[in-house]
Structure formats: structure tokens, C-alpha cells
Chain A
């Protein structure tokens, strides 16, 4: 019975979660905190922070956390299957149909017309990331330098994007850890004086 409810709740979250990631969080809240009361308000927001701190899609991490709270590892598995599988099946089915009719008259044009739409979508996404990176930055010089370095590394040196992202993550982790330590030390000294 509990598994069935788990499945239903996460199935609904999956199929109504248009926009993916962050836009799905309110759905999780409604189903798991408000409706089924599987987790408390506080537990939810604490672990949302944890989920945000880890890489990968947010929906599957939240499904793992809530499923685990309800029914251990099996619960986490059921919740993840429910949130992921239905749409994956729709995706596979839909693309199979489109590609099956690839050579039918008119369908070539239909597929071709998708190109500019996806270019606009990724273009908008590019702009959003540029704007977020710029606004959220502690130092504008820092963003400009890392933009420049990314351009050179990715486009001119043709480095693997994973390596560039990995370096960015390592450097920022090391730097922020170092500056927290430094601040703590300073606070400690001032406290002693």
C-alpha cells in the first residue's frame, strides 16, 4: 500500500514536472510534505539544501531521500522508477514515431523546423547562465577572467569540457574552504584580544 502511494505520488511529480529541476520542487513539497506527510517541513528544506549541494538532477535525489525515509532503499528505488520511467517511455515512443515517418512527405520539413527552435532554447539558456554568473559573482573581474579562460580552453585548446568544469569546481572548492578557514582564524584572534 505504501509502495503504491509512493509510486503514485512520484509518478504525478514526474508527469507534471514541466520545466524539470527547480520547477519540480514545489510538486515534491505538495505531495510529500502536505499531502502524504512523509517528511516534515524542516526535514524537507534541510535535505533540499543537501540535494542542491550534490551534482546530478535534483528530482532523482529528492526521490531517493523521500523514498528512503518512507521505506528504506526499496522505497528510494520505487520513488526513482516512478519519477523517471514514465516520461522516458514517452520520450522513446515519441521519437520512434517521428523517426519512423522520417521519409514520408512533409515529415522532413517537420524535423528540420525543430532546429531553430532548439537553437533559441539553448540561446536563451546561454544568456541566463551568463546573466546569473555575472549577477551572482563576488567579483566581476573574476567572472570575466573565468569566462576568458573557459573560451580559450574549450574553443582554442579544445580541452574536454569535463576537465574544464572539474578544474572550476576544484579551484572554487579549495578557494572557498581556504577563505572560510582564514576568516575563522581572524575571528578567533580578535576574540582572544
Chain B
């Protein structure tokens, strides 16, 4: 039952991705790549890169695209519903009980507790992406692109979309 699997994969990744986008990325990767084998880690990296270059939340972009790849328009709909509906409905139902949540120390503690886990998950993903790049284009090209994109993104604060396009132009000329 592909739709049930899609729903479960995106539901569980987003419900446990406490603290917004980044924590849910490795959880989605685990379901999509490691568990259900809908795509390779390399493809997931490419999808994530394109997603990062576009506006709006990353979780919905991943759900929409991966759902569509796996099972067409119904697949995209199911994956998006699983991502958005549970927390959106919870939000509306809890509007009346807002005082329960204002300054609740539990929220801070929970956000904080997830961070070390997310660090390890994101670190592992980074390593896998690097490994994939080295296997694909070798140490030298990977090194050049890594250093250049780090400088562009972090030192010169260039928008990710432009860095992506620059890398693709470089790839077209020097790797293609």
C-alpha cells in the first residue's frame, strides 16, 4: 500500500521533527532512502539542494516532490497531507488553550533535547553527501566545489539559489 507508506513516512518524520525544518530533513531521508528505498542518497541530496534554492518550508517541498515521484499527483497529495494536516489541525484545536503553552518550560527543554540527536543525523548526512560527491567526481573537483561553495554561502552570504546555479555552470564546463 504505497499511499499508506507515503503517509506514514511523512507523518512520522514531521511529527518527530521537533523545532521545524532541519530536524525533519534527516528523518525524511531515513524513511525515503534507507527504509523505503524510493530514491538513492545522491538523488535525495539533489532534491534537497533544489529545495534549498526555493522559498517556503523545506518539509512541504520534499513531501510534494517525493510524493509525486513515488505515486504521481495522489502521492504528492497524500505526502503533503501527512506533512501539513496533523499539526495544522492540532494548532486549530489548541487555539483555545493557548495559556497552557505560553512560556511552558517543556517547549524549551524539548527543543533543546532534540539538538544533539539532530547534530549527529545531519553530520551523517553531510558525510554521505561528501562521499557520494567524491565517488562521482573525485577528490579534486569535490574539494574545489566544497571550498568555493562554502566561501560563497558563508563568507560572502550569496543566496543558495545563485550558488546552485554557479555550481551547475561550473559542472557543465569542467565536469560535463
A5 to B21, CA, bound (A): 27
**Are B55 and A17 in contact, CB atoms less than 8 angstroms apart?**
yes
Determine whether B38 belongs to the interface, using a CB cutoff of 8 Å to chain A. no
Instruction: Given A55-B17, A165-B16, check contact A132 B94 (CB 8 Å).
Output: no
* From A24, A59, A150, A172, contact of B112 by CB (8 A): A172
- Near B by CB (< 8 A), chain A positions 160-181 give 160-162, 164-166, 168-169, 171-173, 175-177, 179-180
Nearest-neighbor residue (CB-CB) of A52 within chain B: B107
Distance between A158 CB and nearest chain B CB, rounded to angstroms: 10
Cβ contacts under 8 Å, A17 to chain B:
55-57
Q: Is the CB of B129 within 8 A of A53?
A: no
CB-CB contacts of B23-60 with A at 8 A, as 1s and 0s? 11111001000000000001001111111101111111
Would B95 and A165 count as touching, CB distance under 8 A? Answer: no
B20 lies within 8 A of A21 (CB): yes
CB within 8 Å of B: which A45-76 residues: 46-47, 49-61, 63-65, 68, 73, 76
Q: Check B137 against A169 for contact (C-beta < 8 Å).
A: no
Interface residue tally of chain A, by bracket?
A: 35 or more
Query: B5 near A: Cβ within 8 Å?
Result: no
A88-B60, A94-B50, A165-B18 known; A113-B91 Cβ under 8 A:
no
Using a CB–CB cutoff of 8 Å, the interface residues on chain A facing chain B are: 14-22, 24, 46-47, 49-61, 63-65, 68, 73, 76, 80, 83-84, 87-92, 94-95, 98, 105-126, 129-130, 132-133, 136-138, 143, 146-147, 150-151, 154-155, 160-162, 164-166, 168-169, 171-173, 175-177, 179-180
B interface with A by C-beta (< 8 Å): 12-27, 30, 42, 45-52, 54-61, 63-65, 68, 76, 80, 83-84, 86-92, 94-95, 98, 101-110, 112-126, 129-130, 132-133, 136-137, 141-142, 145-146, 149-150, 153-154, 159-160, 163-164, 167-176
What are 24 inter-chain pairs, A to B, with CB distance below 8 A?
A20-B20, A20-B55, A20-B56, A53-B104, A57-B57, A57-B60, A61-B88, A64-B89, A88-B80, A92-B68, A95-B46, A111-B171, A113-B137, A113-B170, A118-B49, A129-B22, A129-B122, A161-B121, A165-B16, A169-B113, A172-B112, A172-B113, A173-B106, A180-B105
